[in-house]
Structure 1
């Protein structure tokens, strides 16, 4: 019987290896932008969705990153993959900061 390490190495022998790179800033999402904040009194993450005219469109709140980004995806409030990936990353950072009692600043 092969051990897991041998199997993993064999899986990568005949596939291309793509080197990841930083592409810089992506295109803006036509559907607007989000400002992520914490409500530590209620232990909630807030995702404030704005138009580019700085009009607040909606606030999505939830106890964890997953519930918020799944809601954003369900209603198609992020129209690009770059924006959805960025939101997932920022919401996760906000969740971790909230759980360990650190401040969070969107980056």
Structure 2
């Protein structure tokens, strides 16, 4: 069966709508720094409440999944490739800021997407 780009994208789009449990160690905002030719990931801490929602550890307020949030990141990680960034975050940082395997897999996928956007000149929007 020959799959088209559209049919593969439809699979991924559907999977992007599934429920995921949040990582108690925090979340990352990923972006491309074209001037420096780097993939960057800002790490933010959070606490997961009894409802499974991420809350700001300082204010106790729920962190919205969409829209602007004024928070200060704990660390900015950067790498020239997706692999370099994964190694920095998942292998060289102690304690590791990622505690869930599904979160690590998600980051790897997003870093590859960001690397492709950096190389191709296309826009990168985090999924």
TM-score between the two structures when normalised by the length of structure 2: 0.64
5+ residue gaps in structure 1? Answer: 1-21
Decide which of 57, 69, 87 is 2:107's aligned counterpart.
87
Which has the higher mean CA deviation after the structures are superposed, 86-95 or 52-61? Answer: 52-61
Decide which of 1, 9, 31 is 2:25's aligned counterpart.
31
What secondary structure sits across from 1:56 in the alignment?
coil
TM-score between the two structures when normalised by the length of structure 1: 0.75
Supply the RMSD in Å over aligned alpha carbons: 1.4
1:102 matched to 2:122: yes
Residue aligning to 1:7: none
| Relative contact order higher in (CA < 8 Å, ≥ 6 apart) | 2
What secondary structure sits across from 1:99 in the alignment?
helix
Number of aligned residues:
86
Over alpha carbons, which structure has the higher Rg? 1
